[in-house]
Structure 1
Amino acid sequence: MKVAVYGQKFCEKNIPYLNQFIGYVSSHSIEIYIEKSFLNILSSFKEFKNLDFPVFSHHKELTKDFSLMFTFGGDGTILSAITLIRDSGIPIVGVNTGNLGFLASFNKDVFIEKIDQIFNKKLHIMPRSLLSLKTSVTDHHKFYNFALNEIVILRKETVSMITIDAYIDNEFLTSYWADGLIVSTPTGSTGYSLSCGGPIISPENKNFVLTPISPHNLFSRPLIISDHQKILLKIHSRVKSYSLSMDTRLTYLNQDDKLYIQKAPFYIYLIQEEKNTYYKTLREKLLWGMDQRN
């Protein structure tokens, strides 16, 4: 068996957990490949000074014979990891060493207790849909055309609102006059979209949601559409450019650049401890239903 390990940062208090993980895979003759930049971070700690594992730094190196990728961090680490995973189908085991841990569902304190079940594939693999983007921009370094959480259009270098003409399957929907617009997957519905008044959509639903950001209209509300539908966005602004973000990646486009958004042709697969943990996560992480009166 061959596994990949990825992270973006590391702190001393998490050394025991990673040490136990490395000890386990070594004792079970499991091949471990560590992302190059993450290995450099680990090498700054004396406990990992002499780590001698093969590395990877490009998505083409993550071939289909990898069984799993382990991410050490939070949800942002998983969002960054999918730029390497892409359409390989390699399942992700998210070990939460960060704060919220909505996607990184394995708490570091109990992660080692479940490691036999993880490697024996006795847990649950949950597919998550993604958004795909097409535009005239092709030369932005390290900007990938897919997103697990959301695609966000925002005004740039102006305090004035922008106008976003939205079309669904080539039919005109409306013109959003707002600070921006969020196009979110069910996975991303608990992120930026939620903070802007968007609905929570459980991951098994085949939907996307369009959520305006600070619209100057009392009746501009989030809209849920089928993920089989295609979205076209045209942006109008008092300045020449606007901001575009996809998950954790940010770039800038000219207002002449149209955006074509649809469902990506592949899924990201997340390993979960239990089959039905989504609503439990809502209660524990987002305090769903919490009331001091009860």
Structure 2
Amino acid sequence: MKVGIYGQFYHENSEIYIQKLLDILQKKGIEIFIEKKFLDIINHNQDITKNFSGLSTFSELDSSFDLFFSIGGDGTILKAVTFVADSGIPIVGINTGRLGFLATIQKEELTKSLTQILEGKYTISERTLLTVETTPANNEVQPLNFAMNEVAVNRKNTTSMIKVETLVDDKYLTSYWSDGLIVATPTGSTGYSLSCGGPVIDPSASSFVLTPIAPHNLNARPLIVPDSAVISLKVSGRENTFLLSMDSRVATLENETWIKIRKAPFTIKLLQLNEDSFIKTIRKKLLWGEDKRN
């Protein structure tokens, strides 16, 4: 088995779990490749007892990898998606962060969870992505023109609202006067969209949600559309530019640029232990069903 390991930085005490992950994989004789920048972080951290400088590194992935471990929170997984892209390599999210809707392997149960994974006791949850095309073309958008959580347009360098002209399948929907607009996947429905009043959507649903950000019109509400829909946006405002975000990546676009958002031609595979489910995750993370009156 050949695995890749990726992280962005250390969370508190995460060196314990990085050490444990590496020890377990090495004892099993698994071929380990660590993302080059992450290995530099590991070797510069004094709390790691071993020197792992002899491990192989990668800057890009290919289809020879069997699993890709993401160590951190949900933001780290979103970054890991840019490495995996359309390769089909399953991502294993080890949560050393806080909330963790995507990184569902808990650090406290790492040994048990790894044993289950190496024994094949897991399922694969396939997640829909969005892809973006702009007219005119913008070099900041390419080549990583996809997002697993959401694509959003936001105002830039101004406190004034922007106007987001919105079409669905080339049919005019409305013009949102707001701070911006989020187009989210079911996976992203528990992220930025949720904080702006959007609904929680099961990741297996074939839909996207359009969620306005602080809309001026009180009758502007989140709208769910089928994931076969093509969503077109054109932004205008007092400033000459605005922001386009694709998960954690941000580009600056000129006003009147047309943005076309549609379902990507590939999915991302997230590994999920047999005992876990989306329903269990949201119940735990959102504290549903718990009596907080005392």
Tell me, yes or no, whether TM beats 0.5. yes
What's the CA shift string for 1:52-104, capped at 9, x where partnerless?
1111113xxx1111000011100000000111100000001100011111100
Higher strand share: 2
What's the CA shift string for 1:246-279, capped at 9, x where partnerless?
1111121001211000000111111111365211
The match for 2:95 is 96
Where 2:181 maps in the other structure, the secondary structure is strand
Preserved contact between residue 121 and residue 274 of structure 2 (Cα < 8 Å): no
Preserved contact between residue 39 and residue 52 of structure 2 (Cα < 8 Å): no
Instruction: Give ranges in structure 2 of 5+ residues lacking alignment.
Output: none
The match for 2:55 is 53
Preserved contact between residue 11 and residue 97 of structure 2 (Cα < 8 Å): no
Preserved contact between residue 124 and residue 275 of structure 1 (Cα < 8 Å): no
The match for 1:10 is 10
**Pairs within 5 Å for 1:230-249:** 230-249=230-249
Instruction: Give ranges in structure 1 of 5+ residues lacking alignment.
Output: none
Preserved contact between residue 155 and residue 161 of structure 2 (Cα < 8 Å): yes
Cα distance in 2 for partners of 1:176, 1:21 equals: 47
C-alpha deviation, 1:216, in angstroms: 0.9
Cα distance in 2 for partners of 1:32, 1:268 equals: 21
Runs of 4+ in 1 over 4 A off after TM superposition: none
In the alignment, does 2:76 pair up with 1:77? yes
C-alpha deviation, 1:120, in angstroms: 2.6
The match for 2:254 is 254
C-alpha deviation, 1:18, in angstroms: 2.0
Preserved contact between residue 187 and residue 203 of structure 2 (Cα < 8 Å): yes
**Pairs within 5 Å for 1:60-209:** 62-135=61-134, 136-140=136-140, 144-209=144-209
C-alpha deviation, 1:131, in angstroms: 0.5
Cα distance in 1 for partners of 2:142, 2:191 equals: 23
The match for 2:263 is 263
TM-score, reference length from structure 1: 0.94
Cα distance in 2 for partners of 1:35, 1:213 equals: 35
Preserved contact between residue 160 and residue 238 of structure 2 (Cα < 8 Å): yes
Cα distance in 1 for partners of 2:160, 2:96 equals: 39
TM-score, reference length from structure 2: 0.94
Going from structure 1 to structure 2, the CA distance change for 1:12 and 1:192 (only over 3 Å counts) comes to closer
Where 1:220 maps in the other structure, the secondary structure is coil
Cα distance in 2 for partners of 1:117, 1:66 equals: 19
Cα distance in 1 for partners of 2:200, 2:79 equals: 23
- Which has the higher mean CA deviation after the structures are superposed, 226-235 or 139-148? 139-148
Preserved contact between residue 164 and residue 234 of structure 1 (Cα < 8 Å): yes
The match for 2:43 is 43
C-alpha deviation, 1:174, in angstroms: 0.8
Cα distance in 2 for partners of 1:92, 1:266 equals: 14
Overall identity of the aligned pairs, in %? 48
